Structure 1
């Protein structure tokens, strides 16, 4: 059982942030109608309810307020114009704040932070909903909060921090930067000079052909709404970890198959292995009864951070969205065949080489991204949330490393995984999946069998 203890609003310290608005670039506008991003951070930190309420919560509120002084857009609103001749913006005005809820749970903390299959619905007790959209007739806009937070105590066991954010305010790099900054202030205090503060200057993103207007014209007639939690999910949630040695074995197999293979990165081999295992486990011979056309195309969709790839490059602390995408393509028969893993690795690596790592092609055809993504809706697409560079396990609020991170956003996708650095293995990667139980059981068998063959090679 989970019980509400407090609801409050946290704002930057009074007088520390001037009223300010930020335009949305085409990197932001493309996410206007995307579902909220939902993350959970579990900390093993046994404490009593009085200590939690009297010591930890006041400190969390204070450190969050100090953090919002620098990350002010997260306290503001997305302003969605009712007049389609105008464009949406992110706006902060004095008094804006972030909703924070405090809960207590008597549920089994240790079960939640395991890697084994767990009921995916059980995690929604710990994630906040973004507040309802408000129609402001005076300003002729719809107002949408872009961030909501929840802190849940498991007495004598641990703490969970839940975040829900609208994707238009920032990508994973931006939100992870916010979380790590908040954690640092909570642990170390807020009386020092900080480096690597968020950078908000949109003028460095060049848009000579007006891609932002092209996107807005394609989206402005779509009603703005917040999707509810995808409950019941009818899924289980499991975690799979590949350590550095296992990833090296996968790389060695690829290089042995394709001498001179370029881009045999940890991301490429991990994504290819999961993609091929998942597809094989859900075709005849596994638990899946649906038959697929051998010539049907399978797609692998992944985000590409453009900050360092733009000309001129953006600083790594740029706050907002700055991602394009890659789309690996392969025929179903090739992906489920004996060499499925190798073919998947080749398809992903080729996309990185020819699109993601080619500065001249990085934004080529960007004006068509919205229609390209929409065209995939009826296709077999395996998407990845996060990246091999995402490191939230080191976000220490003073309670030690994160015990477990979960990305609930993938519950809203038919076919997706989360990816991040491993908590326990330097150089390792952690994969999160949510699937119906029979499909997860089938995947687990194929995944384990493949790794056993890998170890024996």
Structure 2
């Protein structure tokens, strides 16, 4: 369908109401943060239904004011998100250092927009409509743009019968765990109606570095033109597939039975299933190498472990690599076991080896590295508390994302709306491949 243009009503900047003294100090970024400088912002948001008696005049105005007030209070705790990136350069000794400047910034951006469309217009099409990309600020921005753009933008888009709250955060400042930590805290403060004294999960902003290494003060560059690359996605279809708890239970049981184990998780079984089905649509020769990458949280892998309240990037990817022939000839149990082993083998020692290697030869991820047309990439996590965020509008009806970090074979995992272990998969594929996936019986019989 043809959508009307989105209308931008107003914008402002929000600062912490009472920033702590630490907000005057620079935040030096970790190795995982710095490697993200050319990756897109994280763009995730929630669609809420308007209450039946919702007044688009006064009640919308009141909602916006409450959102702004609670955001300002939340930024007291997440003060780096009100900052900007800054770069320090020096010739002798050579220094090229990117850090977060919390003191010299107008704050986080807050946008109010409207769209003359309904929730059904957004949710009923088979594919996610392209207009959803307009629900997020920083479209196509890379993290380095945080030198001049806000590190955090909240965009509230009012529909005829719904409200979409879109959140864009610089991926050098947060990973998925800390993105949703921020969102959960904002919801907690909003629902406390300004009466909150202490939040349930105070964030930890001091970055993790291996023993013997303090702040990383230099990258091997003299100018950003030496590393900045921008990524434009090819023509893709984006569709959300729902998997009920019962469907996932069957996939997990089948994978474990075939591998004669009980160790394969629902997530590993589902990832293996999607990997096999998408590979089949690509019609590779049997000897073609294919891989499934999975984002993995290093917090629990490190020894001693890092708190889940640590803010910043603490992630890497693990992957299993096989041939297309092996993947399709063997059952789901075999491919799920390859993924289980990849996760199991990601130990404290492996994490430290990666960090030490990066410190010796410092590099920056380019999105083109993740775009491998013979592989798939599993991102986000159904374990994040997405539907627990409420802003006086009840529980959200759907999760959607923006343009950022999408390519052929990108799969994002979300919890299902009904809970209970259900999951939603946001899959991005070229039109031809998506049509073949929709015709794949093994795949579609597991979709609810």
TM range (shorter): 0.7 to 0.9
What's the offset of the Cα at 1:436?
Answer: 3.5
2 CA distance for matches of 1:433 and 1:401?
24
SS at match of 1:362: helix
Render the CA deviation track for 1:41-85: whole Å, top value 9, x for unaligned.
Answer: 111124332034421111111111111111001000111334461
Query: What does residue 340 of structure 2 align with?
Result: 349
Figure out how many residues of one structure are paired with residues of the other and give that number. Answer: 432
When residues 219 and 161 of structure 1 are mapped into structure 2, their CA distance, relative to the original with a 3 A threshold, is farther
TM-score (norm 1): 0.85
Out of 410, 415, 433, the residue aligned to residue 421 of structure 1 is: 415
Cα displacement string for residues 97-143 of structure 1 (whole angstroms, at most 9, x for unaligned residues): 111111111123213134x52254221221112798999xxxxx955
Query: How far apart, in 2, do the equivalents of 1:149 and 1:226 lie?
Result: 26
Contact 1:302–1:325 (8 Å) recurs in 2? yes
**Distance apart, 1:386 and its partner CA:** 0.3
Q: What is the CA RMSD across the aligned residues, in angstroms?
A: 3.2
Shift of 1:198: 0.5
C-alpha distance in 2 between matches for 1:424 and 1:31: 33
Stretch deviating more after TM superposition (125-134 or 176-185): 125-134
Distance 1:293 1:55 in 2: 59
What are the residue-to-residue correspondences of 1:211-360 with 2, within 5 Å?
A: 212=216, 216-217=219-220, 222-223=225-226, 227=230, 230=232, 234-260=235-261, 262=263, 264-283=264-283, 292-335=284-327, 337-355=328-346, 358-360=347-349
1:396 equivalent to 2:390? Answer yes
* CA positional deviation for 1:212: 4.9
Question: How many Å apart are 1:365 and its aligned residue?
Answer: 3.5
* Residue pairs, 1:22-421, within 5 angstroms: 22-46=27-51, 47-83=54-90, 85-93=95-103, 96-114=106-124, 116-129=125-138, 142-155=147-160, 157-192=161-196, 193-202=198-207, 204-208=208-212, 212=216, 216-217=219-220, 222-223=225-226, 227=230, 230=232, 234-260=235-261, 262=263, 264-283=264-283, 292-335=284-327, 337-355=328-346, 358-368=347-357, 380-409=374-403, 412-421=406-415
Aligned residues of 1:35 and 1:226 also touching (Cα < 8 A) = no
Give yes or no for contact 2:277–2:442 (8 Å, CA) kept in 1: no
Tell me how far 1:380 sits from its aligned partner: 2.6
SS at structure 1 position matched to 2:375: strand
TM-score normalised by the chain length of structure 2: 0.86
Determine the C-alpha separation between the residues in 2 that align with 1:142 and 1:185.
28
Q: Secondary structure at the match of 2:220?
A: helix
Measure, in 2, the Cα distance between the counterparts of 1:365 and 1:15. Answer: 35
Q: Does 1:440 align with 2:434?
A: yes
- Secondary structure of the structure 1 residue equivalent to 2:256: helix
- Per the TM alignment, residue 368 of structure 1 is displaced from its structure 2 partner at its CA by 4.3
Distance 1:409 1:54, change over 3 A: closer
Partner SS state of residue 27, structure 1: helix
Conservation of the 8 A alpha-carbon contact between 2:133 and 2:403: no
- Residues of 1 paired with 2:155 and 2:446: CA distance? 43
Unpaired runs of at least 5, structure 1: 136-140, 284-291
1:182/1:142 CA distance change after superposition, 3 Å: closer
Instruction: Give the whole-Å Cα distance in 2 for the aligned partners of 1:410 and 1:129.
Output: 9
The 8 Å contact of residues 127 and 237 in structure 2, kept in 1 or not, is answered as yes
Deviation of the 1:249 alpha carbon: 0.9
Provide closer, same or farther for how the CA distance between residues 366 and 316 of structure 1 changes in structure 2, counting only shifts above 3 A.
same
CA shift for structure 1 position 164: 1.7
